[in-house]
């Protein structure tokens, strides 16, 4: 067994305080090691490698040191620290690829701050895909009441409509089904496919995407043996009565997936990147600069992300092959 790698995130956000709270909550469980500047965590214990986390985790937060270039002021992100934020993600990824850590959990980043420093990726998901050589990363948001996967992610709604094809739906759903089997231990995942238009277009009355794109993908996936239903009317598929009938909802665009998930469980939602050769989870919220440093940030989503990363890692460790 190896520890979990936790990235620093934007140091001016709520990452430092929710990290402390998560360690306090989880210090008797599977260790995690933080990749950050020790100046942010004077109570932490510097370790030379992830394995040393086991010896100190119950008593102190283990930290692999990375130096920040500018003084951190809570609530005021500084582009001078962008290089260290990016380095934290890259080093955690490399450690996990090498087997020194079992998974990576990412604290929230400020994309705008990183863009100003030349960061060339829309977000964590795309950067992790580039680091690991994956062409199609898949973003899942998971909570006890619901799992959702947006088929198009960080693009405008207009661009999402242009990107949506039967091939993209099929490829994304295949990756999702494989992950539910391998990482979540669901032997035969039940997949619900959302429609795009109101009422799933009422048999073409409000658009042809359901018949010309989504149904084509559904038919192809059923031919492969997947247990898949839909296209569901998006306004009814997330009700309390509907949710127990499927294991994941495949959604056509970002907000179609994230609005119901965050409405149901903002604090317990976890971002899971599927299709990578490593395990990656993240809290389902941002840097929250407006409350950073005030001691009021809720660590529940980070705690849930760390617990889910440990659970998936344990499933993979005990898998027969």
Residue 137 has pLDDT above 70, yes or no: yes
263 has a pLDDT exceeding 60: yes
Q: Give me the pLDDT at residue 202, please.
A: 62
| Average pLDDT score over residue span 163-171 | 96
Say if 1-134+285-321 and 137-275 have the same CATH topology.
yes
Q: What is the pLDDT of residue 316?
A: 81
Distances, alpha carbon 273 to alpha carbons 129, 144, 298, 299, in Å: 9, 17, 22, 20
- CATH number belonging to domain 1-134+285-321: 3.40.718.10
Beta strands per DSSP E along 99-153: 103-105, 138-143, 146-150
Mean pLDDT of all residues belonging to the chain: 93
As a whole-number percent, the residues of the chain with pLDDT over 70 amount to 96
- Name which of 115-119, 150-154, 233-237 the model is least confident about: 115-119
In angstroms, the CA 260 to CA 143 distance is: 11
Q: In this prediction, what percent of the chain has a pLDDT beyond 90?
A: 80
With contact defined as beta carbons under 8 Å apart, do 9 and 85 qualify? yes
For residue range 209-259, list pLDDT tens digits in order. Answer: 888 899 999 999 999 999 999 999 999 999 999 999 999 999 999 999 999
Vertex 258: Cα angle to 93 and 205 (nearest 5): 130
Q: Hey, where are the domains in the chain? A: 1-134+285-321, 137-275
pLDDT at 151: 96
Length of the chain: 321
With bands split at pLDDT 50, 70 and 90, how would you rate the model's confidence at 200?
low
CATH number of 137-275: 3.40.718.10
The whole-number average pLDDT for the span 15-39 is: 96
CB 132 within 8 A of CB 93: yes
CA distances from 2 to 61, 72, 109, 313 (A): 16, 31, 25, 9
Cβ(136)–Cβ(172) under 8 Å? yes
Between 126 and 61, the higher pLDDT residue = 61
How far, in Å, CA of 154 to CA of 145, rounded?
24
Closest to 253 in 3D by CA, of 209, 304, 205, 189: 209
Tens of pLDDT, residue by residue over 274-297, are 999 999 999 988 999 999 999 999
């Amino acid at each position: 067994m190896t520890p979990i790698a936790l990235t620093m995130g934007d140091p001016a956000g709520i990452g430092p305080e929710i990290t402390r709270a998560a360690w306090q909550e989880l210090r008797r469980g599977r260790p995690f090691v933080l990749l950050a500047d020790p100046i942010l965590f004077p109570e932490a214990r510097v370790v030379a490698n992830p394995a040393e986390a086991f010896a100190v985790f119950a008593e102190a937060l283990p930290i692999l040191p990375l130096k920040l270039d500018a003084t951190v002021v809570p609530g005021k992100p500084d582009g001078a620290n962008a290089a260290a934020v990016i380095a934290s993600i890259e080093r955690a990824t490399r450690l996990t690829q090498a087997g020194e850590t079992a998974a990576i959990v990412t604290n929230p980043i400020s994309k705008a701050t990183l863009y100003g420093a030349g960061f060339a990726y829309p977000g964590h998901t795309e950067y992790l895909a580039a680091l690991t050589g994956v062409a199609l990363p898949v973003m899942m948001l998971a909570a006890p009441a619901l799992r959702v996967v947006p088929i198009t992610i960080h693009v405008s709604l207009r661009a999402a409509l242009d990107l949506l094809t039967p091939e993209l739906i099929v490829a994304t759903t295949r990756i999702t089904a494989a992950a539910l089997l391998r990482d979540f231990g669901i032997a035969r995942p039940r997949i619900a496919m959302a429609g795009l238009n109101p009422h799933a277009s009422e048999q073409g009355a409000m658009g042809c995407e359901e018949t010309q794109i989504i149904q084509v993908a559904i038919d192809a996936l059923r031919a492969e043996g997947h247990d898949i239903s839909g296209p569901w009317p998006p306004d009814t598929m997330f009700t309390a009565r509907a949710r127990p009938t499927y294991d994941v909802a495949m959604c056509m665009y970002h907000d179609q997936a994230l609005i119901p998930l965050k409405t149901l469980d903002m604090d317990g939602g976890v971002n899971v990147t599927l299709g990578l050769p490593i395990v990656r989870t993240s809290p389902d919220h941002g840097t929250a600069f407006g409350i950073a440093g005030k001691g009021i940030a809720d660590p529940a989503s980070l705690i849930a992300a760390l617990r889910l990363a440990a659970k998936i890692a344990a499933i993979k460790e005990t898998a027969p092959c």
